[in-house]
Amino acid sequence: MSKAFASQADLADKKITFEQLSAHCWAYTAEGDPNSGVVIGERSILVSDATATPAMAQDLIAKIRTISDKPIQYVLLTHYHAVRVLGASAFKAEGASDIIASQGTYELIAERGAADMKSEMERFPRLFRGADSVPGLTWPTLIVGDGKPGRQGSLKIDLGGVVVEIWYPGSGHTRGDTIAWVEAEKVLFSGDLVEYEAGVYTGDAQLEEWPATLEALRSLQATAIVPGRGEAMKGAANVDKALDYTKRWVEILYRCGKEAVVKKLDLKGAMAHTRQHMDPVFGHVFIYEHCLPFDVSRAFDEASGIKNPRIWTAERDQEMWASLQS
């Protein structure tokens, strides 16, 4: 019997945790579902990643309102994936005037945002409850940097008593990943550049560059991190655990993709080869089975010389899934 496509059968609610990490920083996490981060200043609030729909964003807004009535002025899109950005319109009613993203993320929304929205909604319906509340694609109003990685193109935002620095540290999960860094409190909001004890989705990744980007994040010496998925990690040693976890996933996956190409395996053969190495290490984590087919497809493509990830459409999703699950 073939497996249900992606996460269509995953309908169980996850426990939401809203916890304080430092004087001004909070983590909104959900047992392996996509996380959001919150920085609360004396004048205004920044939210990192807006959830999948405006309807689902209401829970995050309600959590924020239990501790602050300041306007939510800024919403950061750490990357372009629909599950992170389509809830942004809910924050406009809360005072949001700026939707922030990198140049790379803006370009990816223009290039493949519509296809990604349709694809993601069909892959994981539980995460898109209230999809009829989505007004369309989320477009940034404030672009950070010029597409070149590094802090030289960063944006610094003073929320009142706390400064958030935003920049593109390098390619990884996508070619436009953006982070938020509260240096005074050593708190990092990494988006999906970092995960912990959850599947690392790499279907649109730059696998070769990703480990170096992780090391650039390590050099910040954060003492708390809100990863894209998984629990918020507190303490320098635990931050390193999350970085190491993600790096290990990416490096094993890409190595297996390169080995499959050298062995002249087809995609299904690449999947079997990758499973031999990934299943014993990661097979127990949340959304592992969801991520792996998309990950193997991307690793095989990149190892074959396809540098710019192919666009995932709903049709391509289903064709790939059927061929690998048969």
**pLDDT for 142-196, tens place per residue?**
999 999 999 998 999 999 999 999 999 999 999 999 999 999 999 999 999 999 9
- Domains of the chain, by residue range, sit at 17-248
pLDDT digits (tens, 9 = 90+) for 26-67: 999 988 789 999 999 999 999 999 999 999 999 999 999 999
Residue 273's H or E segment, with its range, is helix 267-282
Q: Is residue 312's pLDDT more than 80?
A: yes
Phi, psi at 231, each rounded to 5°? -70, 150
| Separation of alpha carbons 167 and 181, rounded Å | 9
Quote the pLDDT of residue 11. 60
Residue 224 pLDDT > 60: yes
Asked whether the beta carbons of 293 and 7 are under 8 A apart, the reply is no
Cβ neighbours of residue 319 closer than 8 Å, sequence gap 6 or more: none
Instruction: Using the predicted structure, report yes or no on whether residue 197 has a pLDDT greater than 90.
Output: yes
Strand partners, 166: 155, 180
Check residue 325 and give its pLDDT: 72
Range scoring the smallest mean pLDDT among 189-198, 239-248, 298-307, 312-321: 312-321
User: Selecting from 3.60.15.10, 3.40.50.720, 3.40.50.620, 1.10.10.10, what CATH number does the domain 17-248 have?
Assistant: 3.60.15.10
Distance of CA 217 to the CA centre of its chain: 15
Q: What is the mean pLDDT of residues 77-98?
A: 94
The predicted model scores a pTM of: 0.96
Report the distance separating Cα 32 and Cα 21, nearest Å: 18
Is the pLDDT reported for residue 101 higher than 80?
A: yes
Tokens of 68: 């602050």
**CA–CA gap between residue 50 and residue 37 (Å, rounded):** 9
Q: Is the Cβ–Cβ distance between 40 and 70 less than 8 Å? A: yes
CA distances from 186 to 23, 217, 223 (A): 11, 12, 5
From the CA atom positions of the chain, what is the Rg in Å? 19
* pLDDT beyond 60 at 112: yes
Question: In the numeric block, which tokens belong to residue 232?
Answer: 């918020």
Q: Of 9-13, 23-27, 170-174, where does mean pLDDT reach its minimum?
A: 9-13
| C-beta atoms surrounding 78 within 10 Å | 31
Q: How far apart are CA 194 and CA 222, in angstroms?
A: 13
Flag whether pLDDT at 1 surpasses 50: no
Query: Residue 81: which of 190, 167, 201 has the closest Cα?
Result: 201
At residue 183, the pLDDT reads 98
Give the per-residue pLDDT at 129.
85
User: Residue 241 CB: number of other CB atoms within 10 A?
Assistant: 15
Determine how β-strand 224-229 pairs with β-strand 187-195: parallel
Q: What is the mean pLDDT of the chain?
A: 94
What does the pLDDT read at residue 151? 94
